[in-house]
Structure 1
Amino acid sequence: MSAGTPEAPTGRIAQMRQAYTITKRTDRTIGLRLLFWFLLVGGIAATVNLVLFGPSIIGIPLAVLFGLLSGTLAALIVFGRRAEKAAYAQVEGQTGAAASALQMLRKGWNVKPAVAFTKQQDIVHRVVGRPGVILVGEGNPHRVRQLLAAEKRKHARIVGDDIPVLDLVVGNEEGQIPLTKLNRHVQKMKKTIKPAAQTSVINKLKALDAMRPAAPMPRGPVPTSMKGARKMMRG
C-alpha cells in the first residue's frame, strides 16, 4: 500500500466513524437529524409500551429498553441513507465514480471496473448478474456510446447469443442514468439467466480481460470516499 493511501478501518465502530466523517462534510445537520429521529421514534416506542403494559415495575424498564432500541434503529436507518447520499455527492462528476457506485452492489453481482477506456477518460465498466452482461459507460456521451457499441460486439462474441449484453450511460442528461440511481436501476433489470450461467459467463470473460491493457483508474479520493459508507451499509 502506498504511503499516500489511507488504510481502511477494520472495526465496525471505526467504519461507522469514518462514514459519519464523510457524511458530515456535505451534510452539516446530520447530527441533529439523527438525534431528532432517535428521540421521535424512541419516544413513540416508549409511549406505546407504557400504554400496553402500564407504568409498572416491568412496564417502565421495558418502555426504556424498547425506546432505546427503536430510536437507535431509526437513527441507523437514517444514517445509512444520508451516508449513501453524501458518498455519491462527493464522487459524482469524477472519473471512476460509476465504478465506485457499482462496487456497492451486494452479493450476486460481479463488477469489473474499466474494461475499456479512451485517452479522454471515457470509461466502460462491466457488471455480470442475473440480467446478463451490463456495460456501464461514463464520460463524453458521444464518445462513450461509440465505446459501448464496440464493447457490446466484443462481449456478444464471447458470451454467445443466449446471454443478453445490455448497456447504459451514467449522467444527468436525457436517456442517461443518474449516478444516485445507478445501482437501483441495475438491480431492477429483468433477470434472464440462471446463477450457473452467470458463473459460466464470468469465466468466459476472463479470457477477454486477459488480453486488455491495465486500465488507468484513478487512485485515492474516488474509491476511498465511498469505502466507509459502503462497509457501514453492508455490515
Structure 2
Amino acid sequence: MRPMARETSESSGRLKQIRTAYTMTKKVDTKIGLIIAGVGLITFGVFLAIGFAVDHPVYLGILGFVVAVLAMAVVFGRRAERAAFGQMEGQPGAVAAVLDNIRRGWNTNTTPVAVTRNQDAVYRAVGRPGIALIGEGNPNRVRPLLAAEKKKMARVVGDVPVHDIMVGNGEGEVPLKKLQVTLMRLPRSITPAQVTQTNDRLRALGDLLSKAPIPKGPMPKGARMPKGGQVR
C-alpha cells in the first residue's frame, strides 16, 4: 500500500471510530452535540474577544480555534468515557474492559482468576503497589472468592501487599468509573524486579493449578470444583 493511501485509510479509520463513539455516546448523553458545540464556540469567542482587545484578532483567533478544538476533544472524550462506563456498569466483564485500558504501571489479565456460576468474578493485577484483586458481582458471593484467592496466593507471594477492591456503588465499594484512578493512586510498595518476580510466581501457580486432575463425568449435586478450577 502506498504511503498516501495508507494515511488516507488510517484517517478514514479514525473518523469512523469517532463517529461510532459519538453515536454510542449520544444514546446515553443526548445533549452531547450541543455541549461540545457550546464549549467550542465559547472558547473561540473568548480568544477572539481578547484578540480584538489587544489588537491582534487574527493571531488570537487562530490560537482560539486550535484551543477550541482541543477543548471539544477533551470534553467529548470525558463524556464518552462516562457514557461507556454507564453502559458497562453492572455487566459481567466490565472490570476486564477497564483493566484492558490501563496502559502503564500494571500487569493486567482480562481473564478472571476466579468465577462463580452466577458470573461473579475476581480479576488480578500486579504492579508497583503490589497485587490488586478486583471483585465484580454480588458482594456476598465475591468476598469469599477474594478471601480464598488471597489465601491461595499467600503461599507464593510472601509479604507483597495485596489490595482487595470490590467494584460497585455500595459502602466501601469502588464505582466502575473510578477503578482505574483508584489503581493508579495506590502507593508504590515494591520494586520493578519484585513486580516481575511476583507476576512470574503467580503465573506458575496458575499453571500448576490448571494442571490439577479433575474427575471426569458429571459432578455430584452440591459438589464444588477444586480451587484450581475456580468455578463455584
1:62 Cα offset (Å): 1.4
Q: Distance in 1 between matches of 2:49 and 2:188?
A: 45
- Contact 1:155–1:165 (Cα < 8 Å) also in 2: no
1:19 Cα offset (Å): 1.6
Find the counterpart in structure 2 of residue 181 from structure 1. 178
1:120-160 Cα shifts (integer Å, max 9, x gaps): 21100011111110000011111110000010112222222
1:174-232 Cα shifts (integer Å, max 9, x gaps): 1111112111111111111122221222222211232348999xxxxxxxxxxxxxxxx
Are positions 1:111 and 2:108 aligned together?
A: yes
For structure 2, the 5+ residue unaligned runs are 1-10, 211-227
What secondary structure, in the 3-state scheme, does the structure 2 residue paired with 1:11 have? Answer: helix
Find the counterpart in structure 1 of residue 48 from structure 2. 46
1:1-57 Cα shifts (integer Å, max 9, x gaps): xxxxxxxx99332322222122111011111100000001111122223333x1xxx
Are positions 1:102 and 2:99 aligned together?
A: yes
Percent of paired sites with the same residue: 45
Q: Distance in 1 between matches of 2:62 and 2:204?
A: 56
Are positions 1:142 and 2:146 aligned together?
A: no
Query: Which stretch shifts more, 100-109 or 86-95?
Result: 100-109
Structure 1 pair 200–10 and aligned structure 2 pair: CA distance change class (3 A): farther
Q: Distance in 1 between matches of 2:57 and 2:47?
A: 12
Q: Distance in 2 between matches of 1:92 and 1:193?
A: 31
1:103 Cα offset (Å): 2.0
Are positions 1:68 and 2:65 aligned together?
A: yes
Structure 1 pair 64–215 and aligned structure 2 pair: CA distance change class (3 A): farther
Q: Distance in 1 between matches of 2:155 and 2:86?
A: 37
Within a 5 Å distance, the mapping from 1:1-235 to structure 2 comes to 11-52=13-54, 54=55, 59-113=56-110, 114-161=112-159, 163-210=160-207, 211-212=209-210
Which amino acid in 2 is paired with 1:92? E
- Contact 1:49–1:66 (Cα < 8 Å) also in 2: no
Which amino acid in 2 is paired with 1:44? V
1:69 Cα offset (Å): 0.4
- Contact 2:124–2:133 (Cα < 8 Å) also in 1: yes
- Contact 2:47–2:60 (Cα < 8 Å) also in 1: yes
Find the counterpart in structure 2 of residue 220 from structure 1. none
Which amino acid in 2 is paired with 1:34? I
1:37-89 Cα shifts (integer Å, max 9, x gaps): 0001111122223333x1xxxx3331221121011011011011101100001
- Contact 1:98–1:138 (Cα < 8 Å) also in 2: yes
* TM-score, normalised via structure 1 length: 0.79
Q: Distance in 2 between matches of 1:158 and 1:169?
A: 23
Query: Which stretch shifts more, 103-112 or 145-154?
Result: 103-112
Would you identify which runs of 4 or more consecutive aligned residues in structure 1 move more than 4 Å? 213-216
Structural RMSD (CA): 2.1
